[in-house]
């Protein structure tokens, strides 16, 4: 398998425990710098309010198959969480696209560490373009707790 980074993330999260978490600080602003040889591929991206960013958890080391997410009392299967410690250290996040300046994208809500390699960027399409029913598993309990 050959993964070729197309850019790099500049984030306020400079070390372990400092990465902006979508739940804790959805307003954190980061910059995605797309390498110049791929910058032409950003044409028309500014027309989308949100994008999907696929990146590499470059500082991730090891993993457990059962994990305790922040704010939870019990263990959950790794693949039912967003833990960065995975057998394949691939990250995927939907972020709000705030601005584009040539090969730089300013985004809000990116839960990635500074220096993370960007592997791909795709436009986020709303539900009317993706008609699948969505269930959110054990996170439904968290949503219910927050609404009280």
Tell me which of 37-51, 73-87, 92-106, 122-136 is least confident. Answer: 122-136
pLDDT band with cut points at 50, 70 and 90 for residue 128: low
Task: Please check whether residue 22 is in contact with residue 42, taking contact to mean a CB–CB distance below 8 angstroms.
Answer: no
Residue 91 C-beta-side C-alpha neighbours within 13 Å:
24
**What is the reported pLDDT for 61?**
82
| Sequence-ordered list of residues with C-beta below 8 angstroms from that of 8, at least 6 positions apart, any chain | 32, 33, 35, 115, 116, 117, 118
Give 33 or 16, the one with higher predicted confidence: 33
Average pLDDT score, the chain: 85
Task: Please check whether residue 102 is in contact with residue 1, taking contact to mean a CB–CB distance below 8 angstroms.
Answer: no
**What is the reported pLDDT for 16?**
55
What pTM value is reported for the model?
0.80
Architecture of domain 7-146 in this structure:
Beta Barrel (2.40)
**What is the reported pLDDT for 131?**
60
Q: 25-45: per-residue pLDDT in tens?
A: 556 899 999 999 999 999 999
**What is the reported pLDDT for 35?**
98
pLDDT at 3 over 60: yes
The rounded distance, in Å, linking the Cα atoms of 79 and 58 is 19
Q: 44-54: per-residue pLDDT in tens?
A: 999 999 999 99
Instruction: Give the start-to-end residue ranges of the domains of the chain.
Output: 7-146
**What is the reported pLDDT for 62?**
86
């Amino acid at each position: 398998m050959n993964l070729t980074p197309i850019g790099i993330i500049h984030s306020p999260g400079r070390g372990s425990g400092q990465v902006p978490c979508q739940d804790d600080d959805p307003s954190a602003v980061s910059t995605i710098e797309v390498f110049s040889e791929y910058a032409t591929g950003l044409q028309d991206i500014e027309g989308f309010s949100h994008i999907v960013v696929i990146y590499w958890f470059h500082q991730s080391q090891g993993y457990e198959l059962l994990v305790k997410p922040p704010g939870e009392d019990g263990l959950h299967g790794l693949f039912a969480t967003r833990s960065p410690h995975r057998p394949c250290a691939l990250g995927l996040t939907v972020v709000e696209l705030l601005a584009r300046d040539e090969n730089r994208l300013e985004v809000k809500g990116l839960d990635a560490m500074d220096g993370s390699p960007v592997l791909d960027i795709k436009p986020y399409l709303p539900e009317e373009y993706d008609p699948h029913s969505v269930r959110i598993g054990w996170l439904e309990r968290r949503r219910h707790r927050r609404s009280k």
